[in-house]
Structure 1
Amino acid sequence: MSDSVGFWKRLFAGVLDGIIISAPLAIIFGVITGDWEDENFSTLFNFLYMVIVPILWYGYTVGKRIMGIRIVRMDGKKLGIGTMLLRYLVAALVYAITLGIGFIVSAFMVGIRKDHRSIHDFIAGTYVTSNEP
Structure 2
Amino acid sequence: MTYEAVLAEPSQRLVARLVDTLIVGVPLATAATGIFPRETAQTVVAPIAFAAVFLVYEVVQLAIWGRTVGKRLTGIRVISADGGRLRVSQALVRSAIYALPPAARPVPVLNVLAGIFWLAEIGLLFEGNHRQALHDRAAGTLVVDVRARAAEPPVDEEPVAEEQAPEEPPVR
* Cα pair distance change 1:93/1:43, threshold 3 Å: closer
Identity %: 29
Kept after mapping to 2: 8 A contact 1:53/1:60: yes
How far the C-alpha of 1:62 sits from its partner, in A, is: 0.7
**1:72 correspondence with 2:79:** yes
* Cα pair distance change 1:18/1:102, threshold 3 Å: closer
**1:15 correspondence with 2:30:** no
What corresponds to 1:104 in structure 2? 119
Among 47, 61, 64, the alignment partner of 1:53 is 61
**Cα deviation 1:27-78 (Å, max 9, x = unaligned):** 24544xx125122444322210011111112x11111110001111112332
| Local SS of the residue matching 2:126 | helix
> 1: distance between equivalents of 2:23 and 2:141?
24
What corresponds to 2:140 in structure 1? 125
Aligned length in residues: 130
How far the C-alpha of 1:8 sits from its partner, in A, is: 1.2
Instruction: Please give the TM-score of this superposition, normalised by the length of structure 2.
Output: 0.62
> 2: distance between equivalents of 1:71 and 1:13?
12
What corresponds to 2:27 in structure 1? 24
* Cα pair distance change 1:48/1:120, threshold 3 Å: same
Q: Higher relative CO (CA 8 A, sep ≥ 6), structure 1 or 2? A: 1
How far the C-alpha of 1:83 sits from its partner, in A, is: 0.7
Report which of the two structures shows the higher radius of gyration computed on alpha carbons: 2
> 2: distance between equivalents of 1:41 and 1:103?
19
> 2: distance between equivalents of 1:102 and 1:91?
10
What corresponds to 2:168 in structure 1? none
Question: Which range moves more in the overlay, 45-54 or 70-79?
Answer: 70-79
Kept after mapping to 2: 8 A contact 1:2/1:115: no
How far the C-alpha of 1:124 sits from its partner, in A, is: 0.2
> 2: distance between equivalents of 1:90 and 1:8?
20
> 2: distance between equivalents of 1:91 and 1:42?
12
**Cα deviation 1:63-119 (Å, max 9, x = unaligned):** 11100011111123322331122112246679x789243432231221343321111
Taking only aligned residues, the RMSD between alpha carbons, in angstroms, comes to 3.0
Instruction: Please give the TM-score of this superposition, normalised by the length of structure 1.
Output: 0.77
